[in-house]
């Protein structure tokens, strides 16, 4: 059955003993992860065992899932089985494995943006027992909820301008937005500081070399050496390669949108009016340079390359750092010809 994202947690709380398999899918990876963690926290106890598979591993060895479901642990009373990056090739093993799930066993499947023709999506949505929830990109409504949660956490009320700025500048991906919100929480939690628009803008536009936005600048400015050095520093501090690629995808998509509008208006200031959030004034000159210097066919190529890199990272966890760096260096190296 299909359950709306905002209804998911309450629906799960009603489950007892017999837990239906849950499919969490969609383009908003941060929201997918957020919902998984919420469900896991509700379900978990001190006697919960967690088992992890990938869709690819089950294609190669489908018996692993069947064996794990049937195995009774001597040390744990509950079990979570997490399956990441599932695809239509897993449907046969799911049909067999989900026919008899023991009590207190929770199976959660995480997938990307499955199309309407997806077999796995149809398998879950047409079931009267299984649960499927689509996790779409964040919008003004979801960003408004994030802002309300922020105010509760810091026990302070933001002024109207700050709320408006956050609403316009938070990402469409929950993971990236929460990273920005966490920075604000650290600034204002457990102290007497009063939230100001100036400080919040400073957080969103940190000029430190290790910022995700700086990596985008280095890549699109054709600076592979700076990309490599700063990217590896970010990885060492725990930054997710997928978060880096998502930031790059967003930036390249904004460039492509502007380039299309430029063909219509031939005026940069008019072309960027459709962008949401708007281009920050400090970044306007560099963004204009990237829009003007990169040919639009190269921008399309960059976007497709980054999409492929994200998919590769999700199916090869051991190589995520390498795959991310390779994609960004590729773009930066090709970009050198446009900045001679």
> What is the domain range of residue 13?
5-134
Residues 174 and 86 grouped into a single domain: no
Same domain, 129 and 22: yes
Same domain, 185 and 121: no
| CATH assignment of the domain containing 284 | 1.20.272.10
126 and 24 in a common domain: yes
Nearest to 1 by CA among 31, 22, 15: 22
Q: What would the mean pLDDT of 140-158 be, rounded to a whole number? A: 92
Q: Same domain, yes or no, for 144 and 130?
A: no
Largest CA distance in the chain: 70
The residue out of 204, 221, 243 marking a domain boundary is 204
The answer to whether residue 265 scores a pLDDT higher than 60 is yes
Element (H, E) at 83: strand 78-84
Q: Does position 306 have pLDDT exceeding 90, yes or no?
A: yes
Number of domains the chain contains: 3
How far is 134 from 96, CA to CA, in rounded Å?
24
CA 287/CA 70 separation, integer angstroms: 55
Give CA–CA dist 182/150, Å, rounded. Answer: 9
Separation CA 312–CA 48 (nearest Å)? 31
Are both 64 and 161 inside the same structural domain?
no
pLDDT digit string, tens, across residues 29-75: 789 989 999 999 999 888 899 999 988 889 989 999 999 998 887 78
Residue finishing a domain among 110, 134, 158: 134
CB 102 within 8 A of CB 130: no
Kindly state whether residues 50 and 96 are assigned to the same domain.
Answer: yes
């Amino acid at each position: 059955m299909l359950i709306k994202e905002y209804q998911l947690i309450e629906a799960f709380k009603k489950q007892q003993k017999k837990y239906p398999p849950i499919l969490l899918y969609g383009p908003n990876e941060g929201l997918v992860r957020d919902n998984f963690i919420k469900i896991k926290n509700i379900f978990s106890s001190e006697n919960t065992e967690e088992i992890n598979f990938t869709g690819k591993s089950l294609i190669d060895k489908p018996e692993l899932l069947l064996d794990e479901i049937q195995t009774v642990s001597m040390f744990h009373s509950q079990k979570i089985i997490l399956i990441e990056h599932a695809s239509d090739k897993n449907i046969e093993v799911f049909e067999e494995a989900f026919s008899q799930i023991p009590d207190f066993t929770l199976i959660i499947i995480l997938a990307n943006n499955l199309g309407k023709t997806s077999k796995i999506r149809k398998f879950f949505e047409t079931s009267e027992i299984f649960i499927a929830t689509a996790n779409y990109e964040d919008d003004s409504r979801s960003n408004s909820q994030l802002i309300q949660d922020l105010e509760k956490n810091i026990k302070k009320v933001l002024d109207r301008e700050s709320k408006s700025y956050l609403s316009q500048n938070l990402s469409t991906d929950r993971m990236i937005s929460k990273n920005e919100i966490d920075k604000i929480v650290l600034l204002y939690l457990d102290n007497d500081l009063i939230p100001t628009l100036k400080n919040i803008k400073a957080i969103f536009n940190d000029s430190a070399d290790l910022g995700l936005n700086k990596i985008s600048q280095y890549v699109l400015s054709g600076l592979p050496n700076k990309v490599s050095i700063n990217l590896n520093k970010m990885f060492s501090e725990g930054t997710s390669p997928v978060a880096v690629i998502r930031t790059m995808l967003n930036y390249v998509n904004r460039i492509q949108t502007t380039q299309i509008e430029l063909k219509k208006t031939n005026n940069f200031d008019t072309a960027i009016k459709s962008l949401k959030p708007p281009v920050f004034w400090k970044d306007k000159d560099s963004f204009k340079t990237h829009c003007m210097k990169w040919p639009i066919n190269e921008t399309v190529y960059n976007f497709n390359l980054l999409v492929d890199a994200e998919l590769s990272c999700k199916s090869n966890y051991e190589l995520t750092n390498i795959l991310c760096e390779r994609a960004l260096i590729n773009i930066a190296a090709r970009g050198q010809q446009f900045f001679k």
